[in-house]
């Protein structure tokens, strides 16, 4: 509870302060609310052309921290501004912790106003950021308010995908066969990944359509090998052969059906079968979530049995480790969090958890059955009395079947505004699967995941 200070209660010398860690999200919110889109203040922009991304806190954002003290603490609820002066002494940036303070220096009983010295300093080195003076109408009535009554804000930005791209940036470009990049999204996505040095592509497909699409989007194919195979099925076969010949370390889906791409990879003699079943992993950047969220299997295995689920879990753990999650926490989802013989997914979940305990699944912490709420929400887990290092903290969600996985992934995408990167694991090389609806960041992130996994597995 916050309690204000009325005019009569205030005395010369009264002082109060608040601390605030300024984040990149704060600056995005301020840019949207204020309409000030100056790139000097945005985390992913170089606002002055010096090659560095500034993310400098806008002066009025820093000034607003003073108003937070005035409106919340001293004098508090009911305070209204008359005037405010600021002198900006230094700059603050995203990542700085700031302390804003006010001190009563004068009272005017006739006007009902209070004068306060205002200041903001950086905590780390006590550097003054701004100073000034405020004149406010102090509250006349005593009020109390809860500090947490306001609705929360979630900033939609690719925080985790940006981190993936940074993590992949030092790696060599992944030699990738792109199968049938014959329309704008698939060709543009592959060329964008090439521009970011994520992949070194070979295009296999209808050379005429690829060239025509390149002209339509104003792209230059100079330096890119294009192998002319107009038939989609044959293009997929040729692409798999290129991998087996050692010319590529990944496959990437272009403008063809997923089953056309995967069919030759599953050929027992000439395909790309590895030691495990092929399984699909979504790596999702969910706004407001503090870590990437992996969802599996939502695209390949329709009704996986226990043996297949073992591969689904192990492949997902491997991907999670590749993208920087040291010991992935894996939640095996069911409709309930207790084993119920009438619900097969709850039995599979319990068996998978025990298999992980016995070392049959390695590299992560596995627990289940968990319902969706107590897999990702600590409060829900506590309410149900679940004591587990995974419950409420799951970074990997293993769904009972494709229906549930597909629904979950699309709910996160279209309702929670998540971005999704997709890869197929279990083959000799990563297979990058993109939807035609995927935007540029999703395509880049899919390539980054594939590159991170490949180079980790070969020890590069």
Partners of 76 in the β-ladder: none
When divided into structural domains, the chain yields a total of: 2
Determine the pLDDT at residue 147. Answer: 67
Please identify, among 145, 169, 195, the residue that sits at the C-terminal boundary of a domain: 145
The last residue of a domain, from among 110, 127, 145: 145
3-state secondary structure 35-61: CCCCHHHCCCCCCCCCCCCCCECCHHH
Predicted pLDDT of residue 67: 96
CATH of the domain at 336: 3.40.718.10
CA-nearest of 58, 119, 121 to 85 is 119
In a domain, 73, yes or no: yes
- pLDDT value at 64 more than 60: yes
Asked if residue 237 belongs to a domain, the reply is no
Closest CA to 100 of 83, 84, 82: 84
What's the rounded Cα separation, in Å, for the pair 252 and 258?
10
Its pTM stands at 0.78
Q: Are residues 281 and 422 in the same domain?
A: yes
Q: What is the mean pLDDT of residues 294-304?
A: 96
Least confident of 33-47, 79-93, 266-280: 33-47
Query: What is the chain's mean pLDDT, rounded?
Result: 93
For every residue of 243-278, DSSP letters joined together read HHTTS-SEEEE-SS-HHHHHHHHT-TTTS-B-SS--
The confidence score (pLDDT) of residue 24 equals 86
> Average of pLDDT values for 65-88?
95
120-151 exposure pattern, b = at least 16 Cβ within 10 A, e = fewer: bbbeeeeeebbbbbbbbbbbeeeeeeeeeeee
Instruction: At 445, give phi and psi (nearest 5°).
Output: -65, -40
Q: Let me know if residue 116 belongs to a domain.
A: yes
Token pair listed for 136: 């406010």
d(CA 300, CA 265) in angstroms, rounded, equals 13
Q: What is the mean pLDDT of residues 345-349?
A: 97
User: What pLDDT does residue 289 have?
Assistant: 87
Q: Is residue 29 part of a domain?
A: yes
What is residue 284's predicted lDDT score, i.e. its pLDDT?
95
- The reply to whether 243 falls in a domain is no
Q: What is the pLDDT of residue 148?
A: 64
Give the number of other CB atoms < 10 A from CB of residue 425.
28
Could you list the residue range(s) of the whole structural domain that residue 306 is in?
277-426
pLDDT tier at 83 (50, 70, 90 boundaries)? very high
Q: Could you report the per-residue pLDDT of 302-321, keeping only the tens digit for each?
A: 999 999 999 999 999 999 99
Q: What are the residues facing 429 on neighbouring strands?
A: none
Cross-strand partners of 118 = 102, 132
Report the distance separating Cα 29 and Cα 290, nearest Å.
Answer: 18
C-alpha of 229 from chain center: 37
pLDDT per residue over 231-269, tens digit each? Answer: 999 999 999 999 999 999 999 999 999 999 999 999 999
Contact 103, 29 (CB under 8 A): no
Instruction: Please state, in angstroms and rounded to a whole number, the distance separating the CA atoms of residues 391 and 381.
Output: 6
In a domain, 9, yes or no: yes
Query: Would you say residue 298 lies in a domain?
Result: yes
Confidence of residue 287 (pLDDT cuts 50, 70, 90): confident
pLDDT (tens digit per residue) in 120-178 = 999 999 999 999 999 999 999 998 877 666 676 777 677 899 899 999 999 999 999 99
Here the CATH number for the domain that contains residue 27 is 3.10.129.10
Give residue 159's pLDDT: 83
Judged against a pLDDT cut of 80, whether residue 437 lies above it is answered with: no
Q: What is the pLDDT of residue 460?
A: 56
What are the structure tokens assigned to 184, written together?
């704008």
CB 189 within 8 A of CB 201: no
Would you put residue 59 in left (φ > 0), alpha (ψ -120 to 50) or beta? Answer: alpha
pLDDT class for 44, splitting at 50, 70, 90? confident
Buried b (16+ CB within 10 A) or exposed e, 282-303: bbbbbbebebbbbbbbbbbbee
Quick check: 274 pLDDT over 80? yes
- Partners of 409 in the β-ladder: none
- Of 109, 128, 145, the domain-final residue: 145
Over residues 335-352, mean pLDDT:
96
Residue 260, in any domain of the structure: no
pLDDT the model gives residue 53: 83
């Amino acid at each position: 509870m916050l309690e204000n200070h009325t005019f009569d209660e205030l005395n010369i010398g009264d002082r109060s302060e608040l601390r605030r860690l300024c984040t990149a999200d704060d600056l995005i919110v301020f840019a949207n609310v204020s309409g000030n889109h100056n790139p000097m203040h945005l985390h992913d922009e170089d606002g002055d052309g010096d090659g560095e991304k500034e993310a400098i806190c806008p002066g009025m954002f820093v000034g607003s921290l003073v108003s937070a003290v005035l409106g919340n603490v001293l004098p508090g609820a009911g305070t209204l501004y008359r005037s405010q002066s600021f002198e900006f002494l230094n700059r603050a940036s995203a990542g700085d912790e700031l302390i804003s303070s006010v001190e009563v220096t004068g009272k005017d009983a006739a006007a009902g106003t209070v004068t306060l010295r205002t200041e903001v300093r950086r905590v780390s080195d006590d550097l003054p950021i701004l100073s000034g003076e405020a004149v406010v109408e102090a509250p006349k009535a005593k009020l109390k308010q809860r500090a947490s009554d306001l609705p929360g804000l979630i900033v939609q930005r690719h925080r985790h995908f940006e981190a993936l791209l940074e993590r992949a940036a030092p790696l060599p470009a992944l030699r990738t066969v792109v199968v049938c990049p014959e329309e704008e999204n698939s060709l543009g996505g592959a060329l964008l990944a090439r521009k970011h040095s994520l992949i070194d592509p070979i295009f296999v497909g209808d050379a005429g359509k690829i060239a025509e699409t390149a002209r339509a989007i104003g792209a230059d194919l100079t330096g890119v090998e294009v192998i002319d195979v107009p038939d989609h099925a044959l293009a997929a076969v040729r692409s798999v052969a290129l991998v087996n010949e050692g010319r590529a370390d990944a496959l990437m889906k272009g403008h063809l059906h997923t089953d056309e791409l995967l069919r030759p990879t599953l050929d027992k003699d000439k395909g790309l079968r590895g030691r495990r079943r092929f399984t699909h992993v979504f790596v999702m950047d969910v706004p407001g979530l503090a870590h990437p969220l992996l969802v599996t299997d939502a695209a390949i295995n329709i009704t996986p049995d226990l043996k297949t689920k073992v591969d689904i879990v192990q492949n997902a753990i491997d991907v999670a480790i590749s993208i920087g999650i040291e010991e992935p926490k894996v939640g095996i989802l069911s409709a309930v969090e207790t084993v119920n013989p009438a619900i097969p997914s709850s039995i599979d979940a319990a068996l998978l958890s025990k298999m992980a305990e016995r070392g049959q699944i390695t590299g992560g912490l596995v627990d289940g059955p968990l319902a969706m709420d107590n897999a990702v929400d600590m409060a829900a887990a506590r309410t149900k009395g679940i004591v587990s290092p995974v419950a409420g903290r799951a970074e990997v969600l293993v769904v009972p079947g494709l229906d549930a996985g597909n629904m979950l992934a699309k709910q996160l995408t279209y309702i929670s505004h998540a971005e999704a990167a997709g890869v197929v694991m279990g083959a000799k090389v990563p297979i990058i699967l993109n939807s035609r609806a995927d935007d540029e960041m999703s395509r880049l992130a899919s390539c980054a995941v594939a590159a991170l996994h490949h180079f980790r597995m070969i020890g590069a």
